[in-house]
Structure 1
Amino acid sequence: MGRSEALSHLVEVLLEVDDAVDEAAARSALTLVAGVAGLVARLDRHVRQAPWHGPYQEPVLRRVGARLSVATSGPAAMALASMHADGRIRERAVTAMVGRPCPEVMPFLVLRTGDWVKPVRDRARAGLALLSAPVEGRRGLLGSGGRRQRRFVFDIVLAQDWLRLPDYVACAETDSDVGIRVRAAEAACREAVWTRRPDVLRRLARSVRAEVRVVALTGLVRVGQDGDVVVYLDDDAPLVRAVARDAARRLGIDAREHYRTAVSAAEPALGAIAGLAETGSAADAPLLRPLLAHSQARVRAQAVRGLRLLEAVVAQEALPLLRDPSPAVVREVTTALRPLTGALPPGLPWQLLGDVRVELRRAGYRLLRGRGVDVQLRAALMLTLDPDPRLAERGKADVTRLARDGARTTWRRTPPPELPVTVAQHGELVALAARAAVALGEDISRMLATWLARTRPGT
Structure 2
Amino acid sequence: MLTPSQIRDRLARGAAAAVEGDRPVLDETASWLTAVTARELVRIDQEARRFSFEGPALGKSQAWTSEVLASPSPVVAVLAGMHTDGHVRERAVRSLVTSFDALSDRALAVRVGDHVGVVRELALREVLRRRTLDNAAHVVPVLRRFEQRGRGSGALARYLHALVGEHGEADVWARLRSSADHDLRRAAFRHSFDSGLLGLPDAVALLAGERDQVVRRRLIGVVADSATPDVIAGVLLRDRAAESRTLALVKLTAEQLDPAEVERLLVDSSVLTRLWARRRWQEMGRDPAVLYATRARSAANPIMRARAYIGLAETGTAIERQEVLGLVRSADLPLQKVGLSLLKDHAAAEDVPLLFQAVAGDHSRVARLAGEVLAAHLRLWSPTDLAPLKAAEDPALRSRAWWIHRLRGGWEAVIAGLELLHDPDPRVAASGRQSEPPMYLLPTAAQQHRIAELLATVPIGPDRRRSIAFAAGLPDPGQYS
Identify the TM-score tier after normalising by the shorter chain. Answer: 0.5 to 0.7
Structure 1 partner of 2:359: 322
The CA deviation at 1:211 is 1.9
Q: Call closer, same or farther: CA 1:446–1:141 in 2, change over 3 Å.
A: farther
Kept in 1, the 8 Å contact 2:328–2:336? The answer is yes
What is the Cα deviation at residue 184 of structure 1? Answer: 1.4
Residues 18-57 of structure 1: pairs in structure 2 closer than 5 A: none
Q: TM-score, normalised by structure 1?
A: 0.59
The residue number in structure 2 matching 1:449 is 465
Aligned CA distance change for structure 1 residues 114 and 250 (closer, same or farther; 3 Å) = closer
Code of the residue aligned with 1:292 in structure 2: it is V
Residue 382 and residue 218 in structure 1: after superposition, are their counterparts in 2 closer, same or farther (change >3 A)?
same
Equivalent pair of 1:276/1:306 in contact (CA under 8 Å): no
Residue identity matched to 2:235? R
Which is worse superposed, 180-189 or 126-135? Answer: 126-135
Q: Tell me the equivalent position of 2:247.
A: 215
CA deviation map 1:399-437 (0-9, x unaligned): 4xx1xx68xxxxxxxx67645556642332214532xx3
Amino acid at match of 1:364: A
**Compared with structure 1, are the counterparts of its residues 345 and 369 closer, same or farther at alpha carbon in structure 2 (3 Å cutoff)?**
closer
Letter in 2 for 1:187: V
Partner of 2:273: 240
Q: Does 2:297 correspond to 1:280?
A: no
| Matched AA of 2:315 | T
1:394: how far off?
Answer: 5.7
For 2:340, the equivalent position in structure 1 comes to 304
Q: Give the whole-Å Cα distance in 1 for the aligned partners of 2:154 and 2:200.
A: 26
SS of the counterpart of 2:239? coil
Question: Structure 1 pair 433/209, CA: closer, same or farther in 2 (3 Å)?
Answer: same
Alpha-carbon contact 1:273-1:302 (below 8 Å) kept: yes
C-alpha spacing 1:157/1:353, structure 2 compared with 1 (3 Å): farther
The match for 2:458 is 433
CA contact (8 A) 1:382 1:432 kept: no
Deviations 1:258-310 (A, max 9, x none): 111111012341321210121134444444432223332122112221333xx
Q: Partners of 1:128 and 1:446 in 2: how far apart?
A: 64
Q: Which residue of structure 2 aligns with residue 85 of structure 1? A: none
* AA aligned opposite 2:374: L
Superposition pairs for residues 20-419 of structure 1, below 5 Å?
113=144, 115=146, 132=164, 134-192=169-227, 196-221=228-253, 224-225=256-257, 227=259, 228-266=261-299, 267-268=301-302, 269=304, 270-308=306-344, 311-314=345-348, 316-317=350-351, 318-319=354-355, 320-344=357-381, 346-357=383-394, 360-371=397-408, 373-384=410-421, 395-396=432-433, 398-399=434-435, 402=436, 418-419=442-443
SS of residue matched to 2:415: helix
Higher helix share: 1
- In the TM superposition, what is the alpha-carbon distance from 1:369 to its structure 2 partner? 2.8
CA distance in 1, matches of 2:349, 2:181: 48
C-alpha change, 1:338 and 1:426, in structure 2 (3 Å) is closer
Contact 1:189 1:201 in 2 (8 A): no
Counterpart CA distance in 2 for 1:121 and 1:301 is 57
Could you tell me how far 1:117 is from its partner in structure 2?
A: 7.2
RMSD over aligned CA atoms reads 3.9
Note closer, same or farther for the CA distance 1:111–1:354 as it changes in structure 2 (3 Å cut): closer
Q: For residues 204 and 432 of structure 1, do their structure 2 counterparts lie closer, same or farther at Cα, with a shift above 3 Å needed?
A: farther
- Aligned 8 A contact 2:254 2:284 in 1: no
Task: Return the letter of the residue paired with 2:413.
Answer: Q
Q: 1: CA distance between counterparts of 2:187 and 2:335?
A: 41
1:428/1:451 Cα in 2 relative to 1: closer, same or farther (>3 Å)?
Answer: same
Say if 1:374 and 1:421, in contact at 8 Å, map to a contact too.
Answer: no
Instruction: Please name the residue that 1:54 is paired with.
Output: none
Report if the CA contact (8 A) 1:172-1:212 is conserved. no
Q: 1:128: how far off? A: 6.4
AA at the equivalent of 2:244? V
How many residues align structurally? 322
Q: Structure 1 stretches of 5 or more lacking a match?
A: 1-108, 407-414, 438-444
1:332-385 per-residue CA deviation (whole Å, 9 max, x = no partner) reads 111122111221254233543454556544532342235354321221234456
> What is the aligned-residue identity percentage?
22
CA contact (8 A) 2:406 2:417 kept: no
Deviation at 1:200, TM superposition (A): 4.6
Q: Distance in 2 between matches of 1:238 and 1:313?
A: 24
Q: C-alpha separation between the residues in 2 aligned to 1:113 and 1:326?
A: 48
Task: Write the deviation string for residues 38-95 of structure 1: whole angstroms up to 9, x where unpaired.
Answer: xxxxxxxxxxxxxxxxxxxxxxxxxxxxxxxxxxxxxxxxxxxxxxxxxxxxxxxxxx
